[in-house]
């Protein structure tokens, strides 16, 4: 084992490379190996040392480039042979990211692990689109739920969240939109606002807003694709008109 064998789990944020934390950036600058996901912006790889080995291990719904057990083994293998492994994952690795599983696996082999949080798309993407996740006198809480379980079914927590008055943010749920709408209609009625946001925080962000009555028809025309989030709740009515400014445009301001 390399004397400096270690794993740093880094949250890359929602997509805009400027939204990574300073601590995450410093980890990239000392990496010997970077294993990065599909949702981690590849522009961040430019901060790594020139001799750093960069390996894509992306996984998206229905397309698993590397199975999780293989990724786990790669973390341990590269840490032992090369030293500092940075596992770069979109959003926050501890929010539906399986980051904790990877740290557990590495720790079982005696590899020191560090977690660096990332900005989650669950709250940042709505905010960047002008939607407050919470607002006084509008709602009292918010919930974040996965839309699709490992076996492809819809989480039972979708039904639980629909019964609440909370703002509900659903990750990995666009493919289950019809089922989700049916569940929420029963609990909240057809006029409940709903929004779909694709590629949040990036210059090619796309948004679609409606209510539970018309969102499927709108989606049939607009075809919002993954990666995207679904947000349901009256806070959508509070939406501000705002523009997502890319990091390149920001540099010119």
Distances (CA, A) of 128 to 59, 200, 232: 25, 8, 16
pLDDT of residue 249 exceeding 50, the answer is no
Ranges of beta strands (E only) in the chain are 6-11, 33-36, 53-56, 59-60, 63-64, 84-89, 112-116, 142-146, 167-171, 193-198, 206-211, 228-232
The string of pLDDT tens digits covering residues 78-102 is 999 999 999 999 999 999 999 999 9
Give the pTM. 0.90
Identified catalytic residue from 16, 92, 172, 176:
172
Nearest CA to 126 out of 135, 137, 118 is that of: 135
Nearest CA to 77 out of 60, 99, 93, 55 is that of: 55
pLDDT score at 253: 38
Both tokens assigned to 44:
């961040």
Helices (H) and strands (E) in the chain, counts: 8, 12
Q: Is 151 a catalytic residue?
A: no
Going by pLDDT thresholds of 50, 70 and 90, the confidence category of residue 73 is very high
Tell me how crowded residue 208 is: count the other CB atoms within 10 A of its CB: 18
pLDDT of residue 105 exceeding 70, the answer is yes
Q: Is 172 a catalytic residue?
A: yes
Instruction: Give 108's contacts (C-beta < 8 A, 6+ positions apart).
Output: none
Task: Note whether 34 and 20 are within 8 A (CB).
Answer: no
Identified catalytic residue from 32, 37, 103, 143:
37
pLDDT of residue 251 exceeding 60, the answer is no
Q: Are strands 206-211 and 193-198 parallel, antiparallel or unpaired?
A: antiparallel
Identified catalytic residue from 54, 59, 213, 234:
59
Q: Is 234 a catalytic residue?
A: no
Going by pLDDT thresholds of 50, 70 and 90, the confidence category of residue 242 is low
Q: Give me the phi and psi of 236, to 5 degrees please.
A: -60, -30
Range with the poorest average pLDDT among 23-27, 142-146, 223-227, 246-250:
246-250
Mean pLDDT of 221-236: 97
pLDDT score at 61: 55
pLDDT score at 248: 42
pLDDT score at 164: 97
């Amino acid at each position: 084992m390399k004397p400096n064998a270690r794993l740093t789990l880094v949250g890359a944020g929602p997509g805009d490379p400027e939204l990574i934390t300073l601590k995450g950036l410093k980890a990239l600058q000392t990496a010997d190996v970077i294993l990065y996901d599909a949702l981690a912006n590849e522009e961040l790889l430019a901060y790594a040392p020139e001799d750093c080995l960069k390996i894509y291990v992306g996984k998206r719904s229905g397309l698993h480039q590397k199975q999780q057990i293989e990724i786990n083994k790669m973390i341990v293998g590269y840490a032992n042979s090369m030293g500092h492994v940075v596992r770069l994952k979109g959003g926050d690795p501890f929010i539906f990211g399986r980051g904790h599983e990877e740290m557990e696996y590495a720790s079982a082999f005696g590899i020191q692990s560090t977690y660096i949080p990332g900005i989650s798309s669950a709250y940042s993407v709505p905010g960047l689109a002008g939607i407050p996740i919470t607002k006084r006198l509008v709602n009292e809480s918010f919930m974040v739920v996965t839309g699709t379980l490992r076996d492809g079914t819809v989480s039972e927590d979708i039904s639980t969240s629909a019964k609440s008055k909370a703002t509900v943010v659903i990750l990995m749920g666009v493919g289950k939109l019809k089922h989700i709408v049916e569940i929420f209609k029963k609990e909240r009625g057809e006029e409940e606002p709903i929004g779909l946001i694709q590629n949040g925080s990036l210059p090619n962000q796309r948004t679609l807003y409606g209510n539970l009555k018309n969102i499927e028809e709108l989606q049939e025309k607009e075809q919002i694709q993954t990666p995207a989030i679904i947000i349901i709740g009256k806070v959508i009515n509070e939406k501000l008109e705002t523009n997502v400014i890319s990091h390149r445009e920001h540099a010119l301001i």
